[in-house]
A and B are shown apart, each in its own frame.
Chain A
Amino acid sequence: MTLLSATDITVLDGAVRLVAPVSLTLNPGEPLVILGETGSGKSLLAQAIMGTLPASLRATGVVCIGGRSLPAGDRAAFRGLWGRQIAVLPQEPWLSLDPLMRAAPQVAEAHRLVRGLPGGAARDRAARDLQALGLGAASALYPHQLSGGMAQRVAIAAARAGGAPIVIADEPTKGLDAARRDDVAELLLGALARGGGLLVITHDLALARRIGGRLMVLRDGAVLETGATSAVLSAPQAAYTRELIAADPESWSRRVAPSEAGQTVLEARDLTLSRGGQRLVDGLTLELRAGRILGITGPSGCGKSSLGDALLGMLTPERGQITRARGLAPTAFQKLWQDPVAAFPRTRPLGQTLRDVARLHAAPPDRIGGLLDRLRLAPGLLARRPGSVSGGELQRLALLRAMLAKPRFIFADEPTSRLDPITQRDIIGLLADLARSDGLAIALVSHDPVLIERVADVTTCLPMQEGRKSARDAAIRRKDRGMERPAILR
């Protein structure tokens, strides 16, 4: 018996087809994983199946759930299925819980209003659900008092409280570390126990491996290959799947550092940094040598970017000393930004921006052309504006711009966190090449410990300082509240 079958689903934005006709079936006890990178259409496909597409998009095709046939374009028809037939897991669990309601009632309300239990029974049931997820103590907490992992589990309990047999999870491990990722996979698989169905949408190969079942690889809105997850991941047929698997940092080979370390470019001794009255870095000592890559990891909000600002001379340390090699101009210390689109003037052609930088640093006229070659960029890109080139190309152009300043040191602040895995491997590879060939010292910041482990010669892990977590929570809270205080009309 099939729990859910979707036939010839397409998603259209006006006349542009974002998802080609895709058909899939979901069987009890057998999970289905849809794998693809950002922009592959995997989330749109899932949304079309659940009836949660944004209003600006249109879907065609037929979805059969629980003996009913629904046209995918008829959004209103899906409303009655939510919670009862399909449990939809949110991408951002923290933002998916009502900030003004305690955890337990958010689960209990689904038991009462969807499943139809009386109030007392619904509360008992919710308490038991949370207990089973190890959240007994958290039931009276508000979402802002929960950690990301706890919020994830509360959201899972709330989504499944209505008793829906089919669970659909879109990027359920976004922003979670490896240990949390395995917990979530465990929980999702638990949904299958009573003959339920599970559909997981992800770009995370490790999660796909954990979930198992069947796998569907999606690219540009079309299915490239399907098969048993273990078979596809161990012996991919499509070239793209092979590339995708090879791009996963887990499959990178370790970079071999040049045997001879170059001279010291930058040295920090007993560095202590504060920002906005918050102690970020305490007594850090590090040395950057030409040709070497220093990896910097740590949880968000631990001061990685502030450390970069200090190394580049843009933030005065509270204590300690930063010594830059003698004879180097301040512009020999460059930075690669996380969001390349925001790092370029929006309305000017890229070539104009780069030529200005070249003139400023008195670079010879053929320098831009030579770098374009080395960074594998087409010269035609120079005529375009930042909005009309891909993120990967733009990040390479940002690297080119930094190289025009003849840097000895580049601080790369999460340079690939917004790029897909294949592009990420390219950019990191280029950085490593530049380190070797040009003798650059590079500090590479990433939240992915595997990536750092593969690439960096030395690694610094910045711990979260005491009291910083509450400060970060406060910052998040302020952002939330900003949302709730609309501009007033007076």
Chain B
Amino acid sequence: MTILVSRLVQAVVVALLVGAATFAMMRSLPGDAAWRIAAGRYGYDNVNVAAAEAVRAELGLDGPWLGAFLQWMGDLFRLDFGVSLVSGQPVIAEIGHQLGASLWLALAAVGLSLVIGPPLGILAGLRPGSLFDRVLLVVSTALKAVPQFLMALILILVLSVQLGWLPAAGYGQPRHFILPAFALALGLAAVNARIARDAMASVGAMPFYAFAQWKGLSRAQVLWRHGLRNVSVPLLTYLGLQFVLLVEGVVVIESIVGWPGIGHALVHAVFARDVPMVQGTALMLGLGFVLVNALIDLLAARIDPRGAR
């Protein structure tokens, strides 16, 4: 219960911070916002002073900041995110459209990373110091060190350009998922594997792990009944933190492969000074982080009763 309350407070704080930050951004962006927004709407060749002034008046870009700020935050708490300055569509509709695409990509990436990372990590953690353990350490450290945009470019060069197996970009078919999901998953799996390996090594060294074997259980039974459950708690907790990495990755990868998701939209909104869109996407990502971690807290409390009261 306390978990949920504290997460709820977090959600409100996130909303406040995102709202205030985007408002400040809107006010302090270099260049004349009215001109940029008008250009976004009508195209760079069609902007003139009249159009810019019309935008300025419409959006109240010249008004006193305090009144504008209060109205801004008021809208936010009525869950009215406003209208995209570029497309003229309600922000909420635009985001709803893009969120799905990103969600599927993120789920595919997390699923893939969980299939790759933890099993290898657990295997290494069962025999700490073995050749396999050391090789995995090197490989996972190297994979983690590769920035996600570079990973995506390498995969595109190798799988699409050289081998021609996969499309370099695109959206709509299952095969379009493979490349961006892998680009995201490899980095996540590298860390997952380390977490699982460390957790398995420390669980394997615990007296209860030895005692379970002394009771007469086979190695596989001990791993299945006592190992995995104990390894899952730190892994799960870390998964919540990984959401940050995931968002970072989604923003970068979506832009590279032209994925019509929320990360792609965020980048475009920033370039076009579409502040309501920036606010909407940032808020969605921030609240998503809180929601994911709340779910993970609940799940972890179910598995591990020691932290819960």
Contacts and interface: CB of A to CB of B under 8 A. Distances in A.
B238 to A, nearest CB: 6
Interface stretch (A153-161, A242-250, A272-280, A437-445): A153-161
Nearest to A476: B306
Contact of B194 (A82, A83, A101, A489): A489
Interface string B108-142: 00000000000000000000000000000000110
B45 to A, nearest CB: 46
Interface stretch (A208-216, A303-311, A400-408, A477-485): A477-485
Interface stretch (A92-100, A182-190, A362-370): A92-100
A110 interface: yes
A110 B213 CA distance: 10
A113 interface: yes
A96 B233 contact: no
A98 B237 contact: no
Interface residues of A, number: 41
Contacts of B203: 484
Contacts of B234: 484-486
Given A95-B206, A483-B202, A488-B195, A90 B306 contact: no
A101 B206 CA distance: 15
A292 to B, nearest CB: 42
A100 B305 contact: yes
B216 interface: yes
B216 A110 contact: yes
Contacts of A90: 207, 210-211, 214
B215 interface: yes
B82 to A, nearest CB: 35
B225 interface: yes
Contacts of A101: 225-226, 229
Contacts of B306: 99, 142, 144, 477, 480-481
B56 interface: no
Contacts of A92: 207
Interface in B195-220: 195, 198-199, 202-203, 206-208, 210-218
A468 interface: no
B216 A488 contact: no
Interface in A92-146: 92, 95-101, 109-110, 113-114, 142, 144
B199 A97 contact: no
A84 interface: yes
A110 B217 contact: yes
Interface string A62-91: 000000000000000001001110011011
B191 interface: yes
Contacts of A91: 207
* Interface size range on B against A: 35 or more
B207 A100 contact: no
A114 B214 contact: no
Contact of A481 (B210, B218, B303, B307): B307
Q: Which of A142, A162, A164, A486 has the most CB of B within 10 A?
A: A486
Contacts of B202: 483-484, 486
Given A100-B229, A101-B226, A480-B306, A114 B217 contact: yes
Contacts of B221: 113
Interface in B98-113: none
B241 interface: yes
A161 B217 CA distance: 11
B230 interface: yes
A319 B199 CA distance: 45
A114 B216 contact: yes
B215 A486 contact: no
A82 B191 contact: no
A486 B199 contact: yes
B243 to A, nearest CB: 13
A112 B229 CA distance: 19
Contacts of B305: 100, 142, 144
B239 to A, nearest CB: 11
Interface of A: 50, 52, 79, 82-84, 87-88, 90-92, 95-101, 109-110, 113-114, 142, 144, 155, 158-159, 161-162, 164, 477, 480-481, 483-490
Interface of B: 140-141, 144, 190-191, 194-195, 198-199, 202-203, 206-208, 210-218, 221, 225-226, 229-230, 233-234, 237-238, 241, 245, 303-307
18 contacts: A82-B215, A88-B211, A90-B211, A95-B208, A97-B211, A98-B229, A100-B304, A101-B225, A114-B216, A161-B215, A480-B306, A484-B234, A485-B237, A486-B194, A488-B191, A489-B144, A489-B190, A489-B194
10 nearest A-B pairs in the assembled complex, by CB-CB distance:
A83-B216, A486-B198, A114-B216, A88-B214, A96-B211, A162-B216, A95-B207, A110-B215, A489-B194, A96-B207
